[in-house]
Chain A
Amino acid sequence: MANLENALMCKCDDKCGKVLINCTCDTSRETRKTLMGKLESGLTVDQIVQQYVDKYGETVLSAPTKTGFNLSAWIMPFVALAIGGFGVRKVIRSWVRPVSTGEDVKADGAEEEAPEAGHGKYSKRLQDELDRLES
């Protein structure tokens, strides 16, 4: 039942614009009773959904189908992300300076890789920074 309520929009006269599972109006309660009856009569979720699409059109569905033109709704965000990801990779590559040695260079954001508490270098740097702040 929850699958059906998630798949269909409420078709009340007020055009509430809510998914059936989110709607509390009188129409939605009647629709739920009808749907329950259909399920009990042995119809599958897909068959019931198709009946509603035949009656109201695609607008009764709470999400676009994953076929034809509607597929673009699902694909576009990921296409955009992939293009963006490619762009970001290219940008970072173009920004990265060639490193003179193959060795790992110690990050100068040393405060980010603070060793265990009380470790000399980090504590000294922290102390220096705090002294500067408090002066």
Chain B
Amino acid sequence: MNDIGEFALLLALATALYGIVSYVMAFRSNRVDVYMSADKTPIIVWACVMVSSIALWRAFMVDDFSLQYVAAYSNIELDFFYKFSSFWGGQKGSLLFWTLILTTYMMVVHVQNRKQNLRLVPIALAVMMVIALFFLLLLNFSTNPFERIPLPPADGRGLNPLLQNYWMVIHPPTLYLGYVGFTVPFAFATAALLTKNLDDGWIRLTRKWTLVSWFFLCLGNLFGAQWAYVELGWGGYWAWDPVENAAFMPLIVATAYLHSVMIQEKKDMMKVWNMSLVLLTFVMTIFGTFITRSGLIQSVHTFDEATLGYYFLGFLGVIIAFSVTMILLRLPLLKSKNELDSFLSRESSFLLNNLVLLGIAFATFWGTIFPIVSEAFRGVKITVGPPFYNQVNVPIGMVLLALIGIGPVIAWRKASWSNLKKNFTKPVLAGVVGGALLFPFVPLTDKSEIFTYITFILCIFVMTSMGIEFIKGTGARMAAHGESPVGALSGLVWKNKGRYGGYIVHLGVVMIFAGIAGSQSYSTDVEKHLNIGDRFQLRGYEFTYEKLLVKEQSSVKTRVIAQLGIERDGKRVWTGLPEKEFYKGQNQPVTEVDLISTLKEDVYMILADFNPETSAATIKVYVNPMVKWMWLGGWVIAFGTMICLWPDRLEARRRMERMKRQEAIFMPAQE
């Protein structure tokens, strides 16, 4: 099976090469026979990569340690669940996984557009295949997951214990689905540039792809934060690590694109800008991959083998050079009639939103690469950690939060002062009243707490502004249709999925802002060295250290658990079981925290140290307010995005009509 997997990778490479050549030839020569031949390649490439992936998964499942990759990332005792996820636990498998998702997307694009959109699809598929070709070259000639060991070991080294967490089964695929998804808009944008079909066709075709990719990247980031929170045991969820930044930057640039593209859809403006943002989003995904795999920037998350960095750097250079050249060449065709009626308009607020989002992306990028810049100019390598990002990005983020409340209720084209007054009086008033009510309860002793207080006021402002939009629309429907409030609200959302789905996404973002602000500023912790029976208090909770348990979980894993009785107002509310897990052959034990999670706060318990002879233990407890708001915010975003993505009857009808109008299979490029 390993031979089949290896051969399938070679076959995928050859087919991708053939596909690129034949798609381009078919397009240039307008030959249907060549096109029909090329038309099968996306499915063949996908099938080959799928066979190869199945072969690797099989090797993990049957403990085939003749494969170097399986021996390095699995062992006999590993749970089935983690054997499955070991596939993407290392460099080679993660590249194969990336390629699998990419070719799956390619296949879906191919199937979706079999007899339509043929002005763009062949070239878009060729572009996707060029990217797949790059990964297939790496897989075949540099990081082959089917590399054999002459003398296979009896057992493997096992998966890094930190990755043996359910979030690590979910987080990487989600993140990859987002990362790789941006290849589709990139491919269509490139196809539009190459074929000079620069109307809004490519935007229409990739609207949902962009939203889906954004959605997965957003969830991927949140799932990664949840993994860090429960697995790394330092009480936090985001450390502005270069690899975290690498996943954050494309998300922010894509968010800017999702907003600015609305202006092109509505007013046919900002074509150059939108094209640039799509290309930049993809560049950011490859830059992220370069960081993860180059070892150039120190990170907790980088892969062990860092040799691939140069290939990715070269690939990145080619993409940037190609994208810039194409935009410059097509500049005359990308020119649009840019006109606004007023400085005060939604268009302006969206431009401001883009500026702020790109400001955050740039600050993050600058902080990520500054160690290299410093080394290049001064010969001194420095570290750029959370204090930098928090000080720079927090004020910019607060401006963004305010814009979330302002943008959607300001009118398109031209907002009058009376319009502004009418739309903003209540939200501003709510913010002021909310701020006054909060004032006695929030400490304002340092800059961070003042920022948090302002963030809460802004959250109230945005929530009110959004809430009024829903109330107004619902009221109007109730009056027009005589519907019940629930019926009117659901009807309102259902009939305007894009708009109200977007508002719901904004509500989720506000919840995340509130969660971050609350947990960052009002967190408190205590570390105690305890003997059995010792007690301590923190924020109204009383903890009693009851016992230390040692459990031999398996031949490779031992768990040491501290049992804590937790009381509140004299009543036992929880039994805390923070633990340390020791894995055979691993230097450092893994911390498994225990959590009491409520909307108000999380009680986060860590077993920091213990003495097996005396059963004394060092326990660290954090009380982190409002963390749950962030995770719930993520689900609200998911709900809102689902509404935006839900198929629209009217849109489907229009698409059918467009298809009917398409007579020719082939449509040559515009001259």
Contacts and interface: CB of A to CB of B under 8 A. Distances in A.
B259 to A, nearest CB: 13
A91 B591 contact: no
Contacts of A119: 476
A73 B367 contact: yes
Nearest to A117: B475
A124 B383 CA distance: 60
Nearest to A61: B383
A7 B384 CA distance: 11
A58 interface: yes
A114 B387 contact: no
A26 B299 CA distance: 19
B471 to A, nearest CB: 7
Contacts of A133: 495, 650
A17 interface: yes
A29 interface: yes
A17 B363 CA distance: 20
Interface in A60-95: 60-64, 69-70, 73-74, 76-78, 80-81, 84-85, 88, 91-95
B334 to A, nearest CB: 15
B421 to A, nearest CB: 10
A21 B234 contact: yes
B611 interface: no
A3 to B, nearest CB: 10
Contact of A77 (B232, B348, B359): B359
Contacts of A61: 382-383
B377 interface: yes
A8 B254 CA distance: 33
Given A19-B385, A81-B355, A117-B474, A29 B340 contact: no
B624 to A, nearest CB: 14
A112 B383 contact: no
B609 A29 contact: yes
Contacts of B467: none
B416 to A, nearest CB: 4
B384 A77 contact: no
Interface string A21-53: 111111001000000000000000000000000
B383 A93 contact: no
A7 B418 CA distance: 49
B476 A24 contact: no
Contact of B384 (A73, A95, A107, A126): A73
Interface residues of B, number: 79
A99 B476 CA distance: 32
Interface size class of A (residues with CB under 8 A): 35 or more
Contacts of B391: 63, 74
A114 B396 contact: no
Contacts of B233: 24
Nearest to B420: A113
B359 A81 contact: yes
B298 A105 contact: no
B522 to A, nearest CB: 13
Contacts of B386: 6, 19, 22, 62-63
Contact of B472 (A60, A69, A91, A117): A117
A62 B383 contact: yes
Interface in B487-503: 495
A31 to B, nearest CB: 13
B660 interface: no
Contacts of A117: 471-472, 474-476, 478-479
A4 interface: no
Contacts of A59: 380-383
A77 B300 contact: no
B366 interface: yes
* Listed residue (A63, A104, A118) with the most chain B CB atoms within 10 angstroms of its CB: A63
A73 B366 contact: yes
B383 A18 contact: no
A97 interface: yes
A22 B380 contact: no
A57 to B, nearest CB: 7
Contacts of B606: 24
B614 interface: no
A55 interface: no
Nearest to B239: A22
Interface in A109-129: 109-110, 112-119, 122-123, 126-127
Contacts of A70: 374, 382
Interface stretch (B47-55, B74-82, B404-412): B404-412
Given A16-B300, A64-B374, A58 B480 contact: no
B358 interface: yes
A96 B413 contact: no
Nearest to A129: B495
A71 to B, nearest CB: 11
Contact of A24 (B367, B479, B608): B608
Given A17-B300, A81-B396, A115-B472, 16 more contacts: A59-B382, A69-B374, A69-B377, A77-B362, A77-B396, A81-B359, A96-B342, A96-B343, A99-B342, A105-B414, A106-B416, A114-B476, A122-B472, A123-B476, A123-B480, A127-B481
**Top 3 closest A-B pairs, CB basis?**
A117-B475, A107-B411, A109-B412
Interface of B: 232-234, 236, 239, 241, 269, 298-300, 338-343, 345-346, 348, 351-352, 354-356, 358-359, 362-363, 366-367, 370, 374, 377-378, 380-388, 391-392, 396, 408-419, 422-423, 471-481, 495, 587-588, 591, 606, 608-609, 650
9 contacts: A6-B387, A16-B300, A61-B383, A62-B386, A64-B382, A73-B384, A80-B363, A81-B359, A126-B473
